[in-house]
Structure 1
């Protein structure tokens, strides 16, 4: 009887409680206390559908705005089955409510290409006020004069990745934020072209075993599965465990999250302008 009660309680948590908890994962990146700080809110893998609704997305928008972010980034997989999703026109209206000082940026995920997603994703993100990066970069200048390059590549599973094209003209002296859907692609990018890489795709495995980690992650999220990695000195990768679920509407030891990253920027140099 005790074992049965434990199993039932565990199932209730995995299926009905934990998938509906949205946490704020806060991280400090960079060394020293001098210079300007940049606050980034990163969310990914919403997989809008029966298991993640527009009402829940509205709550995500509210949580994001409470952080007063400088940048907001989304790293793909907006709808779980885009061709079947009935409220496509509403998504852009909801996401347009996100406010940020220096803009909102997004890249493509495999679900944004597949399942007829390619027909809708670009228009939705444009309506939401996001700049959709597809093997390209955009420069942002902060009030203190820092140059921030936001670099984004296409999805690797169903799109066409062009890392060289995305990094064209990028200078190491600026602070370079690299957006990709699949985190293992970071191994194809020269460390000279990024200071911080933000990715999703893995869902953190959805199910994690305490002190062990994910029991399964998809292709191109097998080396880097979740959390913060310092790949070289002051060169970081953050793999966000995402918001929604796919295939199975379950999570364990791995609640949905938005990441709030406070970046300590280096001292402004005259040669980055």
Structure 2
């Protein structure tokens, strides 16, 4: 977004909030950001082995710890995720808002360790994880928390000797994503899930043998005004803002999470934070 367009959006945001009542402002700042939605989805495919029927994947994204999202709130999120009894946990980027100023401590590592999934915990970089010289410290903390980084890499998830492919690319904005390298050597007949922080990358993913792309980054627009829609989304989250998207020129399905935290403005309005619970099912 160029400077002129950004200022226009910013001015529009100001006018929108200036017109809100004090009660609505309080709701957007202090109430809705804490109203976590657990979004249930079923992923149906003929490529899924029967052994994956009922297999649960939980995706969470964009916690942005340190920017109006506290370690105590993260502790509640951990309990909510564990309550879903996931087989696999995926984090699609942006752990803290500013790695260079965040007060890194043992509490975060302990909470990450508390997340339980029988088939593992995986994550990818978001733009805030790379920003502020944070790449190494974020990786260290996630490693200590029991998460495996997929940075232009893939792995097989096995259920009773039957595999699916899980892949993850580097951040699009500040990293060096390489999907061809990521999928090199994978069995293209297997059901494949790709983690990509920025949702608009799906326009590239659709040309590869990927069945599902899981993304975040957009925050769902974070603030939505009736009859106007979202006020602002970051680069590479302009086309696909939230929810489910299908593609005519390929089998790909994209899911965009609104994420957990906030950034730029500490508000959510008509855009509740969410985690996704995906239940796998073989198509008969």
Q: Conserved in 1, the CA contact under 8 Å of 2:210 and 2:251? A: no
Structure 2: any 5+ residue segments left out of the alignment? 1-17
Equivalent pair of 1:88/1:124 in contact (CA under 8 Å): no
The answer for the alignment partner of 1:215 in structure 2 is 231
8 Å contact from structure 1 (residues 175, 194) kept in 2: yes
Q: Secondary structure at the match of 2:55?
A: strand
1:234 and 1:146 map into 2 onto residues whose CA distance is 21
Question: In structure 1, how many angstroms separate the alpha carbons of the residues matched to 2:173 and 2:156?
Answer: 27
What is the CA deviation profile of residues 35-68 of structure 1, one whole-angstrom value per residue up to 9, with x for unaligned ones?
Answer: 3232110000000004111111111111111111
Q: Which runs of 5+ in 1 are unaligned?
A: 268-273
Which of 12, 15, 19 is 2:33 aligned to? 19
Question: Contact 1:75 / 1:108 at 8 angstroms: preserved in 2?
Answer: yes
Partner of 1:44: 61
Cα distance change of structure 1 residues 191 and 265 upon mapping to structure 2, 3 Å threshold = farther
SS of 2:100's equivalent in the other structure is helix
d(CA) in 1 for partners of 2:239, 2:164: 27
> Which stretches of structure 1, 4 residues or longer, exceed 4 Å deviation after superposition?
none
* CA-to-aligned-CA distance 1:149-204 (integer Å, 9 cap, x gap): 11000001111111111010122221101001101111112454211110000000
1:31 deviates by: 6.0
State the Cα distance separating 1:21 from its structure 2 match: 1.5
Q: Indicate the larger mover: 209-218 or 35-44.
A: 209-218
Q: Secondary structure at the match of 1:114?
A: helix
Q: Secondary structure at the match of 1:30?
A: strand
Aligned mate of 1:71, from 83, 88, 100: 88
1:82 aligns to 2:96 (yes or no)? no
Matched residues in 1 for 2:212 and 2:227: separation? 26
* Residues 200-251 of structure 1: CA deviation (Å, up to 9, x unaligned): 0000010123465322211100111101112257531100000000011000
* Backbone CA RMSD of aligned residues: 2.2
Per-residue deviation at 1:7? 0.5
Q: Does 1:180 align with 2:196?
A: yes
Alignment of 1:1-273 (within 5 A): 7-30=21-44, 35=50, 36-143=53-160, 145-210=161-226, 213-232=229-248, 235-266=252-283
In structure 2, how many angstroms separate the alpha carbons of the residues matched to 1:146 and 1:204?
Answer: 35
CA contact (8 A) 1:172 1:192 kept: no
Q: CA deviation at 1:94?
A: 0.7
Q: 1:50 to 1:221 in 2, by over 3 A?
A: closer
TM-score, normalised to structure 2, is 0.87
Aligned residues: 263
Contact 1:178–1:197 (CA under 8 A) maintained in structure 2: yes
